[in-house]
Each structure stands twice: as structure tokens, then as C-alpha cells.
């Protein structure tokens, strides 16, 4: 039965004798191209490995309690699925970081439909954010939860991109200081003002909110200046309220609270005010993957996040292409060797994300020192 398709034109092929190795040879009925069919077992096993990694399945439910699966999976754990440069321009890009451990975070950028890029770092520093942003074409607006180092990074890499601070995170920042049931009248009023951020829909409402917030700051200024003796030192009595006020003042002064209402940005349609797209569409699913495989080492948890992101880009490569093109731990070690940056322990991802080694996997050239 002729079921082989021509790799050149896609037309049907017919059997055409055998190759010297004994493999069946096929010939295209349309263009005359000749080819042999190969059964890519490695690609099929990689697909099975990734399917398990991103599912809730357990090895205990597999035949032989997963012994065969673990032997085959050992071939794929060293792989690093890396993002490509994204030169398509989007109206909105959402950015956030998901923490794997205290000193290990994966920074992620996505659009309304797909994951765009990701970057492994030790902390949310300016250099780490710049490594992520430099691989993505500057959008019209970027939505962020206000992570440390991001403001400097976006000013350096995307100077013309407008920044929208997620209003829900701004509300939560106030809530952390006042609690949801504040006891002081100043806290009650500030908490109510922060809650109104979630319902601002016009520029007039935004201006009215800023005016009311300034009135609150002026009315309670003397109250917030009160000090008391704490452990032998004079300290502000209402420190938490002052911190909540300072956070909102910085956002108002920076002009990032109501960017989504800018008429120039909204000309082609409404813009988002929150980071819900990446929180619900990416981070929550990644946490579910990590929760389902919570026995993995830190390095393997990082790679699980990488695999999820890699399979949710707009056009992920086939498993066969992934096997051929993606770097491995050996490639990373080669880069360390070449640049003289040896790690004390190759299983410590906190050593990565800094210096030239990891930058080579994230920046301009496409794995120039890959070990063939």
C-alpha cells in the first residue's frame, strides 16, 4: 500500500526496490524524487517523555513501575529547549517570573496567544530582564507586576514601549500592608481606594481617583508622621500604612497605573490593565506541572518549565528537529570550558543565568559553539 508522501512536493510515492542497506526505497509519482522511510524511534520516545513531563501521570502507574521509562528518559533530561528570537511586533506583551527555588527564577514573556521567550536567572535583576527583552521586538505596551530591575531593563531595551503596572498587583500590594480588614480609619479609606483601581475604565475616572488619593495623602499626612518609642528607638507608628502610601505614590508619579487608558494605545482596541493573561494562562499551569512532579530536582524543575514554554510557542519544532538543534548539558559545559567559567557542580542552575556562558544560549548567535 502506497502511504509514503514525497518530502519535496508532498505527492504520493510508490515502492521502488530496496537500498543497499535493505531499506524500502520509494519514488515520487509526480516529481520523481527518491527517498527511504526511516522510523525515528528517538523522536517518538522524546514525545512520550515530554507528554509525561507535562501531564499528571506518575511512573508508578506505568508498566514495570516506570523502570523502562526512566531508562529512556535519561537520554532527554540533558536537553535544554531554548527560545528563538521573536521579531514579530505585538501590541501587548506580558512579563513575569516564576520562582523555582529561593535563588532560581525563570523569567517569561508571552502575548495574548503564545509564549514568546523565557530566561533562567538567579534573581529578577536588570541584567536578567534585559536578556529576556532583548530577544523580543519592542511592543506598544508591556504589562508587568513590578518586579525588581524591570523598570531599568525596559528603559534600556524598549525605550519607546509604554509600561502598564498590573492594577491587581497594585491593589494586592496595598492589601498586604492594610490587610483586608484594616482597623484604622486611614487604612479603611486607603484599602477602599486601592480596590477602586480594579474598576477604573475611563480617563475621567482615573483623574478622579488620583485626585481622591492626593486628598487622602494630605488629610492623613500628620497622622502618618506620628512616631513612638520601639525597642529604645523612635520609629514611625504607622509604618505599614506609610509603605502602602509610598507604593501608590511611586506608581502615580511614574504614570504606569493607567497606561491602558491612553487613547493612542486604545485606537485599535482596548488594552489590558492586569497581568491575568500570564498569571492564569502560564504561571498557574506551570505550578500545576511542578506540583504534579514535586519530587524532581531543582534542575529538572527548571527544564520542565522550559519544556512547557517551548511547546506553547506559536510554531514549536518537531521532536526530530528538537533533538538535532537544541543544546544539552554537554554544550553548556563546553561553553563554560571555552570561557573559563567552570561550575562547581553541573547540577546547580543557580550558577547559570550570569556571564557569557548563559548569554550565548540566549543572545544573538544560534548556539555557535554547539558540540557536533
* Residues 184-231 pLDDT 10s: 999 999 999 999 999 999 999 999 999 999 999 999 999 999 999 888
Q: What span, in angstroms and rounded, lies between the C-alpha atoms of 50 and 43?
A: 11
Cell numbers placing 355:
556571564
- At 339, the pLDDT band (50, 70, 90 cuts) reads low
Which residue's C-alpha cell is 512547557? Answer: 308
Q: What span, in angstroms and rounded, lies between the C-alpha atoms of 339 and 43?
A: 32
Name the percent of the chain in helix, strand, coil, to the closest 5: 45, 15, 35
- At 343, the pLDDT band (50, 70, 90 cuts) reads very low
Helix residue ranges per DSSP H, the chain? 41-53, 67-73, 126-133, 150-157, 167-178, 185-196, 203-219, 221-224, 239-254, 276-278, 284-292, 298-311, 319-325, 329-339, 355-362
Please state the rounded mean pLDDT for residues 277-289.
93
Beta bridge partners of residue 165, listed in sequence order? 144
Q: What is the DSSP letter of 84?
A: P
**Are residues 118 and 306 in contact, defined by beta-carbon separation less than 8 angstroms?**
yes
- At 69, the pLDDT band (50, 70, 90 cuts) reads confident
Decide: helix, strand or coil at residue 46.
helix
Q: What is the pLDDT of residues 93-115, one digit of tens each?
A: 999 999 999 989 999 999 999 99
Please state the rounded mean pLDDT for residues 52-70.
85
pLDDT of residue 192: 96
**Are residues 16 and 26 in contact, defined by beta-carbon separation less than 8 angstroms?**
yes
Lowest-pLDDT range of 11-15, 220-224, 363-367: 363-367
- At 38, the pLDDT band (50, 70, 90 cuts) reads low
pLDDT of residue 335: 75
- At 347, the pLDDT band (50, 70, 90 cuts) reads very low
pLDDT beyond 80 at 364? no
Lowest-pLDDT range of 213-217, 243-247, 324-328: 324-328
Amino acid at each position: 500500500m502506497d502511504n509514503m508522501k514525497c518530502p519535496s512536493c508532498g505527492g504520493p510515492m510508490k515502492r521502488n526496490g530496496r537500498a543497499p542497506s535493505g531499506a524500502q526505497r520509494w519514488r515520487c509519482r509526480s516529481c520523481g524524487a527518491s527517498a527511504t522511510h526511516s522510523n525515528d524511534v528517538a523522536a517518538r520516545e522524546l514525545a512520550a517523555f515530554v507528554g509525561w513531563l507535562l501531564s499528571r501521570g506518575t511512573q508508578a502507574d506505568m508498566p514495570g513501575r516506570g523502570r523502562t521509562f526512566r531508562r529512556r528518559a535519561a537520554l532527554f533530561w540533558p536537553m535544554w529547549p531554548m527560545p528563538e528570537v521573536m521579531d514579530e511586533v505585538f501590541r501587548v506583551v506580558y512579563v513575569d517570573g516564576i520562582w523555582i527555588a529561593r535563588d532560581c527564577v525563570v523569567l517569561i514573556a508571552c502575548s495574548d496567544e503564545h509564549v514568546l521567550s523565557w530566561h533562567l536567572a538567579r534573581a529578577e535583576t536588570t541584567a536578567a530582564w534585559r536578556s529576556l527583552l532583548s530577544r523580543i521586538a519592542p511592543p506598544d505596551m508591556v504589562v508587568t507586576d513590578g518586579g525588581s530591575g524591570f523598570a531599568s531593563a525596559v528603559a534600556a531595551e524598549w525605550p519607546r514601549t509604554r509600561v502598564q503596572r498590573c492594577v491587581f498587583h497594585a491593589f494586592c500590594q496595598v492589601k498586604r500592608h492594610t490587610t483586608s480588614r484594616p482597623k484604622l480609619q486611614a487604612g479603611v479609606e486607603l484599602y477602599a481606594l486601592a480596590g477602586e483601581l480594579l474598576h477604573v475604565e475611563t480617563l475621567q475616572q482615573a483623574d478622579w481617583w488620583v485626585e481622591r488619593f492626593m486628598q487622602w495623602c494630605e488629610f492623613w499626612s500628620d497622622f502618618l508622621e506620628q512616631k513612638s518609642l520601639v525597642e529604645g528607638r523612635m520609629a514611625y507608628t504607622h509604618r505599614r500604612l506609610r509603605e502602602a502610601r509610598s507604593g501608590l505614590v511611586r506608581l502615580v508619579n511614574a504614570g504606569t497605573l493607567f497606561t491602558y487608558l491612553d487613547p493612542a494605545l486604545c485606537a485599535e482596541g482596548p488594552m489590558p490593565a492586569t497581568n491575568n493573561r500570564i498569571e492564569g494562562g502560564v504561571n498557574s499551569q506551570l505550578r500545576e506541572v511542578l506540583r504534579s512532579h514535586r519530587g524532581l530536582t531543582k534542575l529538572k524543575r527548571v527544564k520542565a518549565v522550559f519544556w512547557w514554554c517551548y511547546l506553547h510557542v506559536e510554531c514549536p519544532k518537531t521532536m526530530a528537529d528538537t533533538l538535532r538543534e537544541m543544546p544539552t548539558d554537554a554544550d553548556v559545559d563546553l561553553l563554560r570550558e571555552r570561557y573559563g567559567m567552570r561550575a562547581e557542580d553541573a547540577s546547580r542552575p543557580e550558577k547559570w543565568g550570569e556571564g557569557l556562558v548563559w548569554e550565548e544560549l540566549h543572545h544573538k548567535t544560534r548556539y555557535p559553539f554547539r558540540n557536533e
